[in-house]
C-alpha cells in the first residue's frame, strides 16, 4: 500500500496526535479536572509509552515521533489531573 494509503495513515496519525492539544489547553485554562478520568490517562500514558518502545525497536520513526508527542501531551494532562484534583 502506497500513495493514498500512506497519506491516509499520516492524516490519521496527525489527527489522533494533535487532538490532545485542545484538551491540554482546556484543562490548563479551566483547571477543571473533575470530569477527566485518572484511570484513562494512567492507562493511556502507559500504552503510548509502549507504542514508543515498539516503534523504537521496529525502527519505525513515524511511530516514534507521533507517540513521543502524544506521550508528552498525555503526561501534561495526567500531571494537571493529579495536581488539581483535590483543589
Q: How far is the CB of 69 from a second copy (least distance, A)?
A: 13
| 27-66 footprint of a second copy as x/- string (CB under 8 A) | x--x-xxxxxxxxxx-xx-xxx-xx-xx--xx--------
Q: Which of 9, 62, 82, 83 binds a second copy (CB under 8 A)?
A: 9
Cα separation, 78 vs 41, in Å, equals 6
Are the beta carbons of 73 and 24 closer than 8 angstroms? yes
Buried b (16+ CB within 10 A) or exposed e, 23-39: bbeebeeeeebeebeee
Binding site for a second copy (CB under 8 A): 1, 4-5, 8-9, 11-23, 25-27, 30, 32-41, 43-44, 46-48, 50-51, 53-54, 57-58
Amino acid at each position: 500500500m502506497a500513495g493514498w494509503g500512506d497519506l491516509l495513515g499520516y492524516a490519521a496519525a496527525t489527527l489522533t496526535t494533535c487532538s490532545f492539544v485542545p484538551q491540554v489547553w482546556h484543562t490548563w485554562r479551566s483547571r477543571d479536572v473533575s470530569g477527566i478520568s485518572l484511570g484513562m490517562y494512567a492507562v493511556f500514558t502507559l500504552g503510548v509509552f509502549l507504542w514508543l518502545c515498539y516503534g523504537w525497536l521496529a525502527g519505525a520513526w513515524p511511530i516514534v515521533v507521533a507517540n513521543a508527542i502524544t506521550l508528552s501531551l498525555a503526561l501534561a494532562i495526567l500531571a494537571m489531573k493529579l495536581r488539581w484534583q483535590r483543589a
